[in-house]
Amino acid sequence: MEILSHFYEVIIEEGFEGASIAKIAEKMSVNPSLLIHYYKTKDAMIEGLIEHIINTYSSHILPDFSKVEDPKERWEDVLDVVSRIQWGTFLNTTVFYSAYTLSLRDPGVKNKFTELYEKVVGQLQDEIAHAQQANIIQVKDTRQAAQLVMTLIEGANFYQNVSHNGVDIEKRSRMIKETITLMTDNNI
């Protein structure tokens, strides 16, 4: 929605702590009380934003691989996508980590994040099982493997922001792919 996307913008510019109703309204060239008119309170607005973030993440992080028929090709597609995931492309990092940090204190937000990751890990697990059935990879525990992949993805994204002069995205991708392949080749 109009309001949420401006909320989003303000967080990027001023951080979560600097995102006030007045600033959002100013950016929209609209009266502050209008925002309150829609979202009764600021907390409700934050809730709306969190939902927006979760939805964006959820619908962008992994595409639907089911239309790829050849299992080998499909698994390679998964590896390709997974190793290249980066927040910046579909979700601003400041906004994402602000929401994540909020989840640490707010049980409601935490639940949403938990569900989100449950879903994504589930999808990953399905792909692993699918590849396993086709004898392309070999893992002991599909869920554990999916969690490990998720861990790698999040770790890589986290680490990327504290790296000296950026990160070579191709090299990073290769490294992640190699690691996953190593795991799936060795019955982890």
Closest approach of Cβ 33 to DNA, in Å? 3
Q: Going by C-beta distance under 8 Å and a sequence separation of 6 or more, which residues neighbour residue 94?
A: 11, 12, 15, 16
* 19/128 with CB nearer DNA: 19
| Collapsed DSSP state (helix, strand, coil) of residue 91 | coil
* 26/76 with CB nearer a second copy: 26
| x/- track of binding to DNA for residues 31-60 (CB under 7 A) | xxxx-xxx-xxxx-----------------
Q: Going by C-beta distance under 8 Å and a sequence separation of 6 or more, which residues neighbour residue 6?
A: 24, 27, 28
* 56/94 with CB nearer a second copy: 94
Counting beta carbons within 10 angstroms of the beta carbon of residue 81, is it exposed (0 to 12), middle (13 to 18) or buried (19 or more)?
middle
| Site of interaction with a second copy (CB under 8 A) | 15-17, 93-94, 97-98, 100-105, 110, 113-114, 116-118, 144, 147-148, 150-156, 158-159, 161-164, 175, 178-179, 182-183, 186, 188
